[in-house]
Amino acid sequence: MQSNQQKNAARPPASAAASRSLRPKLMLILALFFVAANLRPVLISLGPVLDSVQASLDLSGSGSGLLITLPILCFAGFAPFVPRLLRYWPAERLILWALLVLAAGIAVRSLFGITGLFAGTFISGASISVIMVLLPSIIKDHFPSKAGVMMSLYSTALCLGAAIAAGATVPLQNIPGSSWRWAMAFWLVPALLSALVWRPHIPPRQPQQERRYSRTPRLRSSLLAWQVTLFMGLQSAVAYCVFGWLPFILIDRGLNQVTAGLVLSISLGIQLISSMLAPWMATRGRDQRSTIVLMLTMSLSGMMGLIYAPLAQVWVWSIVLGLGLGGVFSIALALLVLRSPNPQVAAALSGMAQGVGYAIAAVGPFALGLLHELTGDWNGVALLFAAFIIGGGIFGMGAGRAGYIKADAKS
């Protein structure tokens, strides 16, 4: 009896043991959120100070367009190859290296003239591509039963980082003694801090664990993988068309530049709400199809309202559009995990979906601009938006069905 009492006295309370087991998970969640929040400032921070960059470096309009498109091309070009890196290094270590490279790319982009501007943008885009492909694999590995909630957190962090960068870059430029260079260079600080926060989560070298990733699943013949991929691509095309062209559409309709920019800012900011709620909603039912239809319907309604509704209603339609875009983007990210049976397939699907998806996204704004130039109005553009969204809905109905991707033979 006394011996049992002594053992019980020596044993820590259940609540304390649970607290110790929960703490590493909470710290990993915090690290994931902080890393994800650093994936958009390098992209968003250019737009607000682009006029200053053009004046300082004598950058042409075509050069500016290439600079804006370059990170998207990096996402498309590098994403398919990232899963192969898992044959040699664990995902956590690759993310740490990518964060350090991201910080270096931000420094090069900001401080070394026009050559550094393009080289640093390329370096930053490549490093962000690595992180974006690997984070869904990390989530699938560590939070398999909470995929919807974690992908909701991930997409919310992306939107929050974008909103902060959009609002803070110009004030940073306007600090006495500062310039666009230092305003853009500032974002290497949170990138380095995120690397510091992420460092404790790198596991020790475990050859058996690394061998799990020694082969990359092949998904090219999987219909479900292609449905997820094309859904990702078409919703990305819609989003980048909105980011690049919505202010021009509104200015052409009669709004001034400040108001048109504010409409876009509100639409971006409101995405925080739906990016948080949509994956949670999508995992409450049998599958994700009904939530996909809801979010795409809101996206289409909001865009058509901004093109055709009276200008007095633009604030309402900007909110509707933002809720739709934020929701469909977060669901597209969540599907990378929800349709994957294991972390290996999640990494392969993430590489495939983001590689093809961002290639489509890069073409979308160019096609929209060409169509407007050929037609001289926004009616053809409205039809193109509708085609993108309806196409996304068609592939979303397949991607949103419950089930897992079956990988082919491995290479």
The residue out of 166, 188, 216 marking a domain boundary is 216
pLDDT in tens, 327-345: 898 888 888 888 888 877 8
User: Does position 395 have pLDDT exceeding 60, yes or no?
Assistant: yes
For residues 236 and 148, state if they share a domain: no
Same structural domain for residues 303 and 368? Answer: yes
Task: Name the domain count of the chain.
Answer: 2
Q: Are residues 348 and 237 in the same domain?
A: yes
Range of the domain at 374: 221-405
Highest mean pLDDT pick, 126-140, 179-193, 288-302: 288-302
274 and 391: one domain?
Answer: yes
Q: What is the pLDDT of residue 5?
A: 53
Q: Chain centroid to CA 150: how far?
A: 14
Same domain membership, residue 135 and residue 70: yes
Q: What is the pLDDT of residue 393?
A: 93
CATH number at residue 399: 1.20.1250.20
Q: Which of 216, 236, 253 is the last residue of a domain?
A: 216
At residue 316 the predicted structure's pLDDT band, cuts being 50, 70 and 90, is: very high
Please identify, among 201, 216, 231, the residue that sits at the C-terminal boundary of a domain.
216
Q: Is residue 127 part of a domain?
A: yes
**32 inside domain:** yes
* Structure tokens, 177: 């003694």
Tell whether 173 and 271 lie within a shared domain: no
- pLDDT, one tens digit per residue, over 281-290 is 777 778 888 8
Identify the residue with better confidence: 34 or 160: 34
